[in-house]
Structure 1
Amino acid sequence: MIKHDKKLDQAARAAWMYYVAGQTQNEIADALGVSRQVAQRLVALAIDNGLVSVNISHPVGRCMALSAQLAERYGLSLCQVVPSQGMEHAGVNRAVAVAGAEVMAQFLRNEQPLIIGVGSGRSLKAAIDELPELERPQHSCVSLIGAIASDGSCTRYDVPLWLAEKTQGRYFILPAPLFADSEQDRALWCNHRIYRTVNEKASQADVTFIGIGSIGYHCPLHKDGFISEQDVDRLSADNAVAEMLGHFIDGNGNRVASELDQRLTSVNLRQRPEKPVIALAGGQEKRLAIRAALSGHWINGLITDEESAQALLVD
């Protein structure tokens, strides 16, 4: 029975890599250390055993164990780890997106009206792209972060609107730039009646989905024009390694005080949230940031990849 389970685990891993990550049988064979013929048979075994339908229904045993360990160590109410062994960066991101879409769909299928708080970022956008059309006009999607850059442009990753389009629900935009021009300018934005209405609605979210950003010249906030090179240098000097909704976190999970805080218009982050706050993040470049978010107890749900999960469990 144990040997059979291990075989199914390997078959499920091969099926995930083939159907979700889009890898070839040669790439799967190399990653699993088997011949191409064996890789082909593993995919066929997954199909024969009913593991492949719309989703892969047989979880990989190692990923299940990593999920349980992460949940116990960091006090998570929801944790899902997707296979990533041997995958390239794009495959890992796609796997996290598919798993994120599955978790989102579980909440969205609820018939009772929900307020869904949504951050921004590439990982969330990719997950929403994977979502099926779910007609749930009773749900409300609320933006948690301003999506306007200093030049007046909007980020392509303003994802609450995309989620609202998938559900046909209402969309509430946070009407402000991510960072105002000054502290006085921030006060003008945040004291507007519409801003206060949306901010109050965001505080009532039944579930929240956010991304976790890293800090560096490669990070989306810098590449998309929200922070400057000087901002990156200052944040790095203050040991900031993570960003969530424009809030900066150090390696121990503590908030990093920054001049940017005085101009930030996003909703507040709360430690040890009572309702689900689920982050989607994976890949080597995100591991320090994910650890920071977990260490500070800023999230209570996580969808990530197995190699990141393994790294997060090493002291």
Structure 2
Amino acid sequence: MTELLKILQKIMPKEMSALSRRYTLLHTIRLFQPIGRRLLSQKMRISEKVIRTDTELLKSEGLIDIVFAGMTLTEEGARVLDSLQELMRPLEELDKVREGVQTLLESQELYVVPGDSQNNQEAFKELGKEAARVLLEHLQGKSTVAITGGSTIRKVVEAIPFQKAPSPFPKLMVVPARGSLGNNAKIQANNLVAKMAERLQCRYRLLNLPDNLSRKSLDSVSQEPEIKEVFSLIRNADIVLFGIGIAERMVERRNLEPSVMEEIREKRAVAEVLGHYFDGQGNIVSTSCSIGLRLHELEQGGGYPIAVAGGADKAEAILAVRKYLRRGALVIDEGAAKRILALAAGSKTL
């Protein structure tokens, strides 16, 4: 990426993301014109809602025409597209990386931000901002949003702008996808739920239970009316925002029994999602006694999933759980994306 683009990315990351998307949109229209919104959405693999917003803006600027047969580029639109080519070439290279990963993972919607969160806090921030943008685009007035804990989801919450009164989401409900775990309160789901609700000025409910209860204790507390009510909200959530963990880190964070930790390590787990541990081939090798949302509920078409993971060191974990990333949105960074392609190129089993 040129020095100018790096500066622009730092100063106005949201605008640069929109510029890249609209540039690609204009380029796609040029290739397939006349083209309708639905087909354009399929080719770009982004939602029709985003396509509608962008095309209406481009039409108002005189860059495209929208007629019965579909959308076409205007003379001015073609001129603008040609003028942008040199500037956008580095971003096009990132877009090629995104397309390669999207094809590999078969993701419904994939977003890739520049940089590598593994060793760059600015990139980590941008990852959070992009995921927050995707979340806000999918919010509806009466939505229920279930979120997990973790440092990545914390970045997403911190990137959500504070809404001005009166709240645009007075009937929105935010709940933790799972019980709390570990001793770091700053990244526990309950804490992040309260912070998200504060920013969105909406309702929320907490799940005041540890994540790792015994089966007997879990069966007992599940019958409490207040817990049952929160469970119902979680399992009927419209949107599920979650991170993808590296198994070894999550084993330490969850304070598991030594025998369980040893088993997970012996089975060479590399990833963790919603209390499920996966080996490098995507097999579930261990499952914690879950409080809240279960993986099969997400797989079977529950809420709209938004998965977020950044850093080259998360690539193996992302590949391990890719079966569960096909539906909904996946937000990653350049470091993870390039490492995913490198791992895939070096393995005949991927």
Same-fold call, TM > 0.5?
A: yes
Give the aligned partner of residue 192 of structure 1.
Answer: 224
2:236 pairs with 1:208: no
The 1-side partners of 2:126 and 2:14 are apart by: 14
CA distances 1:246-281 after superposition (whole Å, capped 9, x unpaired)? 2222222222235xx3x3323211326364211111
Give the aligned partner of residue 222 of structure 1.
Answer: 252
Q: In 1, are the aligned partners of 2:118 and 2:312 still within 8 Å (CA)? A: no
Give the aligned partner of residue 310 of structure 1.
Answer: 338
Q: Which runs of 5+ in 2 are unaligned?
A: 21-90, 345-350
Post-superposition offset of 1:161: 1.7
Change (3 A) 1:160 1:148: same
Give the aligned partner of residue 309 of structure 2.
Answer: 281
Q: In 2, are the aligned partners of 1:141 and 1:171 still within 8 Å (CA)? A: yes
The 1-side partners of 2:161 and 2:6 are apart by: 23
Q: What TM-score comes out, normalization by structure 2 length?
A: 0.67
2:132 pairs with 1:120: no
1:179 corresponds, among 209, 212, 224, to 212
Post-superposition offset of 1:128: 0.9
Cα RMSD for the two superposed structures: 2.7
The 1-side partners of 2:208 and 2:306 are apart by: 23
Q: In 2, are the aligned partners of 1:222 and 1:228 still within 8 Å (CA)? A: no
Q: What TM-score comes out, normalization by structure 1 length?
A: 0.74
The 1-side partners of 2:185 and 2:251 are apart by: 10
Mean alpha-carbon deviation: is it higher for 170-179 or for 69-78? 69-78
Q: In 2, are the aligned partners of 1:253 and 1:296 still within 8 Å (CA)? A: no
1:237 corresponds, among 237, 254, 266, to 266
The 2-side partners of 1:291 and 1:86 are apart by: 17
Post-superposition offset of 1:228: 5.3
- The residue identity in structure 1 corresponding to 2:126 is A
Change (3 A) 1:228 1:283: farther
2:201 pairs with 1:168: yes
Runs of 4+ in 1 over 6 A off after TM superposition: none
- The residue identity in structure 1 corresponding to 2:232 is E
CA distances 1:215-248 after superposition (whole Å, capped 9, x unpaired)? 22xx25524x533565433212112111112222
SS at match of 1:128: helix
Give aligned pairs, total: 263
The 2-side partners of 1:167 and 1:277 are apart by: 19
Give the aligned partner of residue 94 of structure 1.
Answer: 125
1:12 corresponds, among 5, 29, 42, to 5
Change (3 A) 1:87 1:194: closer
Summarize the alignment of residues 250-269 of structure 1 with structure 2, pairs less than 5 Å apart.
250-258=279-287, 261=288, 263-269=289-295
The 2-side partners of 1:12 and 1:280 are apart by: 24
Post-superposition offset of 1:176: 2.0
1:71 corresponds, among 77, 97, 102, to 102
Post-superposition offset of 1:80: 0.4
SS at match of 1:304: strand
The 1-side partners of 2:327 and 2:282 are apart by: 11
Q: Which runs of 5+ in 1 are unaligned?
A: 1-5, 20-51
2:87 pairs with 1:58: no
Give the aligned partner of residue 38 of structure 1.
Answer: none
The 2-side partners of 1:275 and 1:255 are apart by: 21
SS at match of 1:72: helix
The 2-side partners of 1:257 and 1:247 are apart by: 6
SS at match of 1:123: helix
Determine which structure has more spread, i.e. the larger CA radius of gyration: 2
